[in-house]
Amino acid sequence: MNIQGIGMVSALGRGIDSLETVLETGPIAPSMIEVPFRPALFPVYAVAKETLKDKTALSRMRRADRFSKMAVLAAIDALQNAGIELHDPARTGVVLGTAFGPHPTVFSFLDDILEFGDDAVSPTLFSHSVHNAAASYVSVALGLAGPAMTLTTFTDPFHQSLLLAQTWLDQGVCDSVLVGGVEECGTVMEYIVSRKLRIADDETNIQPFFAEGGPSVIPGEGAVFFLLGREPAGPYSVQFGQIGSKAEPAPDLWIVDFECPALPSSAPAGCWSHLAGSMPTSTAVSCAAGALILKNGTVYSQTSLVKIETVQPMQIGCIGHKKTNIYLGKS
Amino acid sequence: MAADKETALQEIREILKVKLIEQLSLEDVKPEEITDELPLFGEGLGLDSLDAVEIIVLLQRNFGVEVKDAQESREIFQSVNTLAEYIYQQKTGA
Report the complex ipTM: 0.83
Question: CA B35 to CA B40: how far, in whole Å?
Answer: 10
Longest dimension (CA), chain B: 37
DSSP assignment letter at A274? G
Longest dimension (CA), chain A: 62
Cβ-Cβ contacts under 8 Å for B82 (sequence gap 6 or more): B75, B76
Domains of chain A: 2-236 (3.40.47.10)
Grade residue A307 by pLDDT with cuts at 50, 70 and 90: low
Per-residue model confidence (pLDDT) at position A128: 95
Grade residue A328 by pLDDT with cuts at 50, 70 and 90: very high
Residue A306 reports pLDDT greater than 60: no
Per-residue model confidence (pLDDT) at position A254: 85
Grade residue A60 by pLDDT with cuts at 50, 70 and 90: confident
Per-residue model confidence (pLDDT) at position A211: 63
| Residue B25 sits at the chain A interface (C-beta within 8 Å) | yes
Distance from CA of A192 to the nearest CA of B (A): 28
Domains of chain B: 2-92 (1.10.1200.10)
Distance from CA of A143 to the nearest CA of B (A): 22
| Residue B53 sits at the chain A interface (C-beta within 8 Å) | yes
Rounded to an integer, the average pLDDT of B30-58 is: 93
Interface test with A, best of B22, B61, B62 (most A CBs within 10 A): B61
In terms of Cβ atoms closer than 10 Å to its own Cβ (0-12, 13-18, 19+), residue A60 is exposed
Contact B57 A62 (CB under 8 A): no
pLDDT digits (tens, 9 = 90+) for B48-64: 989 999 999 999 999 99
Per-residue model confidence (pLDDT) at position A99: 93
Pairing of the two strands A238-244 and A2-10: antiparallel
Residue A144 reports pLDDT greater than 70: yes
**Contact (Cβ atoms closer than 8 angstroms) between residue A283 and residue A231:** no
Instruction: Specify the length of chain B in residues.
Output: 94
pLDDT digits (tens, 9 = 90+) for A233-271: 999 999 999 888 776 678 888 888 766 666 677 678 888
pLDDT digits (tens, 9 = 90+) for A90-99: 999 999 999 9
pLDDT digits (tens, 9 = 90+) for A282-302: 899 999 999 999 999 888 876
Q: Nearest chain B Cα to A112, which residue?
A: B61
Per-residue model confidence (pLDDT) at position A138: 97
Per-residue model confidence (pLDDT) at position A217: 86
Q: Nearest chain B Cα to A63, which residue?
A: B25
Per-residue model confidence (pLDDT) at position A310: 61
Distance from CA of B54 to the nearest CA of A (A): 6
The region of weakest confidence among A142-146, A311-315, B77-81 is A311-315
Residue A174 reports pLDDT greater than 80: yes
Question: CA A12 to CA A19: how far, in whole Å?
Answer: 7
